[in-house]
Amino acid sequence: MPEASADTVALDTKMTSRDVKVHYGDKLALKGVDLEFRTNEVTALIGPSGCGKSTFLRCLNRMNDTIGIARVSGQVTLDNDHIYGPNGIDPVLLRMRVGMVFQKPNPFPKSLYDNVAFGPRIHGLYRDKDHLDEIVTKALEKAGLWHEVKDRLYEKGTGISGGQQQRLCIARAIAVSPEVILMDEPCSALDPIATAKVEELIDELRENFTIVIVTHSMQQAARVSQRTAFFHLGEVIEVGDTEQIFTAPTQQLTQGYITGRFG
């Protein structure tokens, strides 16, 4: 089959999790999650509120470290390197390689330019001013925002529309050239047009990045992802190709959830 070789390339595993458990104090929030994320694919994590999908997403770049009562066990790897444990990747470096976009757009109260330049500056990723300009321009272009903001780069990042702010946050995330982008309900605060722009962006970004997205919108998961994992009560109930999950899920729980018979 001629497609076979292309498939093998596309199916490279970028990140894996093995038996990942998270305790919040005494409460076991994640009960041992095994998942793989493939290069150049969008994986959607779906499930009811409190099922652990955001908790799991935050394990992938050690964001749970910032929550005092959270304890993470199990293994997470990025390109076969462990991200937890004594030999784990340095968290600062890890978060550069695994970027994150949050539910509500959270631009810094700085100029648009400074928002995007923030990461490259603290990580020292540029040679000179021209190089930094180039990084900022490219990131804004990739985020589909350049034409809308190129004449107002020195205005406040908080002064643009919500949809533009979210794309600014995506530009800020990609300015440090991450390998993986985690998105936690990136469109839940956006209108349908801004949502469509972000979804189109996700589709384009897939060429260069591995993307993991948490979403409450079944239709969004169906539209943007190639793989879908369904979480319930801290466990992965089913993971598979998005098309299969939405046409013929194998688990009753998955079917009940996606069809809205879950109550």
Partner 1 sequence: MPTIGEQHIVKSYDDEMKRLHDALARMAGLAEAQLAASIEALEKRDSDIATQVMNSDYKVDECEHFINEQTVRLLALRAPVADDLRLVISALKAAGDIERIADHAANAAKRSLVLNQMPTVAPMRSLVRMGKLVAELLNEVLDAFLAHDAERALAVRSRDQEVDDLYSSLFREILTYMMEDPRTITACSHLMFIAKNIERVGDHATNIAEMTYFISTGRALNDQRPKRDTSAFEGAVTP
Residues that bind partner 1 (CB under 8 A): 48, 218-219, 222, 232-233, 246-249, 252-263
In this complex, which beta carbon is closest to partner 1, that of residue 66 or of residue 219? 219
How far apart are CB 51 and partner 1 at their closest, in Å?
Answer: 9
CA distance 246 to 120: 40
Which residue from 100, 103, 126 is spatially nearest to 113, judged by alpha carbons?
126
What is the smallest separation between the CB atom of 6 and partner 1, expressed in angstroms? 25
The answer to whether 17 touches 52, Cβ cutoff 8 Å, is: no
Distance CA 141, CA 107 (A): 17
Q: How far apart are CA 44 and CA 216, in angstroms?
A: 10
Is the CB of 111 or the CB of 255 nearer to partner 1? 255
Question: With respect to partner 1, which residue has the nearer C-beta, 211 or 222?
Answer: 222
Full strand arrangement of the beta sheet holding 27-38: 27-38, 13-24, 70-78, 81-82
Report, in Å, the least distance between residue 255 CB and partner 1. Answer: 5
Give min distance, CB of 237 to partner 1, in A: 11
State which residue, 141 or 243, has the beta carbon closest to partner 1. 243
Q: How far is the CB of 27 from partner 1 (least distance, A)?
A: 15
| Comparison of 161 and 252: residue with beta carbon closer to partner 1 | 252
Side chain identity at residue 20, one-letter code: V
Chain-centroid distance of CA 11 in Å reads: 18
CA–centroid distance for 59 within its chain: 12
